[in-house]
Amino acid sequence: MSLTELITTFANNLLPIMLVAGAGFALGKLLVIDSRSLGRVVFYVFSPLLVFDLMVKSQLNLRQALTTVGYTSSVILVLGILAFLLGKLFQLERTALLAVVLTVSFGNTGNYGLPLTKFAFGDDALAVASLFYVTTTILFNTVGVVIASLGHMDLKSAVLGLFKIPVVYGVFLALLIKGFGIQLPLPLARTIEIAANGAIPVMLILLGLELTRIEWSHSFRAMGLGVFTKLVFGPLVGLALAALFGLEGHTRQGSVIESAMPAAVATTVVATEYNLRPSLVTAIVFLGTALSPLTLTPLLVYLMR
């Protein structure tokens, strides 16, 4: 791949995301904006309606959907095990080890992954990426919370928390509507489409706002390990598992690019909630997001071929 090809790919796909997120970051630094309230709007309104809209309009069949769910779960599992083994090799103490496992396992598949997939590969790949995002959300709110809680929350409580996640209902309703061939009334369909179209810009602004809460960590070994493992091994694991699962075309593009996303901003929330080295987690999220174009740009060029 040539330098020109890399620059063009970055400018057309990643730069717009960075500029909009950068606007959100600047707003967060210059003005007093409650990112938590905006996050709730995204969580309860924009995300579920975006996923619902994508699922209803997509051409994915049940077999493809189940394959994507299995692929997503495998990516998270493999990356989590890899982070654990590398953390043990580098002799990280327990809380730092768990912080690295959390940030490496769960990527920013929503605010960052969905816009990038749409820009680079279109709506067909975006439908696949949305399933990756939903699966990640479900696993994060169960397995991820258990990791962060260090045993303070039982699995039953985490599983019951799934019923509070609106995107789960969005997927369920979309599957019912597609399964029974229900035609949505035009006013309702247009309402959902308007909200879905607005979801990605709001997600990007929220990403920038949330990155203003950066706290630098003095655990440089753990921070470097978390960022390196997520950015370098994420794409490699994604590509290897895509071959193993036999993914092709838009399914491969949407799935692999999601597996390569930097650490999820949501990990900072649970890290703060359960006092799991929040400064380390936020540093990994910020640095990983800032450096992600270095790995995502060549990956995009490769997947476009």
Per residue in 68-91, pLDDT tens? Answer: 999 999 999 999 999 999 999 999
For residue range 259-289, list pLDDT tens digits in order. Answer: 999 998 888 877 877 778 888 888 899 899 9
Q: Give the H or E element holding residue 122.
A: none
Contact 51/134 with Cβ under 8 angstroms? yes
HEC profile of 22-46:
HHHHHHHHHCCCCHHHHHHHHHHHH
Mean pLDDT of 39-68: 83
Compute CA distances 54 → 14, 28, 57, 226, whole Å.
Answer: 22, 30, 5, 32
The CA distance from 296 to 14, in Å, is 8
Mean pLDDT (whole number) for 145-158: 62
Domains in the chain (CATH in brackets) are 3-304 (1.20.1530.20)
Return the percentage of the chain with pLDDT > 70, whole number.
94
Which pair of tokens denotes residue 37? 């309230």
pLDDT at 247: 94
Q: Contact at 8 Å (CB) between 260 and 295?
A: yes
